[in-house]
Amino acid sequence: MKPKLYIETSVVSYLTGRPSRDMLVATHQQVTREWWERRRPEFEVFASQLVATEAGGGDEDAAKRRLDVLRDLPYLVLTSEAMSLGREFVRRGPVPAEAADDALHIALATMHGMDYLLTWNCAHIANAEMRYALSEVCLSLGHDLPVICTPEELLGV
């Protein structure tokens, strides 16, 4: 059985973005493409309507490319339990209020039993200082936090 992985919007954006001249962004784009081509088949990959809504914003052509990637992926349903957990992440402080949608991504992956949450959002999701606090919230409510990582961390050997 393949591990279950929730893909957050930033990964889709790096995957489909026009090549950047910014070295860090270009590196993230290359790593994301490599992960998508080489490792993606080893996982059962999920998105959500939240990802689709975020991916559908902005430049029309870029949005189309992002949404094309999401077209064939199954979507996790935003349940009342996931919404409640997202609010707890904000209420207890691991995630700031202005990043409530990021808390929802984490909550969706958690409540649907994902093994991994893949993201390039290192400010509010793949943040080493926040992982412990997120895990504590989950454990106190009887849930297991998925492994939160970047495509680079999940490239394998």
* Contact (Cβ atoms closer than 8 angstroms) between residue 3 and residue 115: yes
Quick check: 83 and 105 in contact, CB under 8 A?
A: no
94 pLDDT band, cuts 50/70/90, is confident
Number of separate domains in the chain: 1
pLDDT for 153: 95
Longest Cα–Cα distance in the chain: 45
| Helix axis angle, 60-70 to 9-16, nearest 10° | 110
Least Cα distance to 48 among 92, 93, 79 occurs for 79
What average pLDDT does the chain have?
95
DSSP summary character for residue 147: E
- Residue range 15-56, pLDDT digits in tens: 999 999 999 999 999 999 999 999 999 999 999 999 999 999
pLDDT of residue 57: 94
CATH value at residue 101? 3.40.50.1010
**pLDDT value for 135:** 95
> Model confidence over 110-139: pLDDT tens digits?
999 999 999 999 999 999 888 999 999 999
Q: Which domain holds residue 125?
A: 4-154
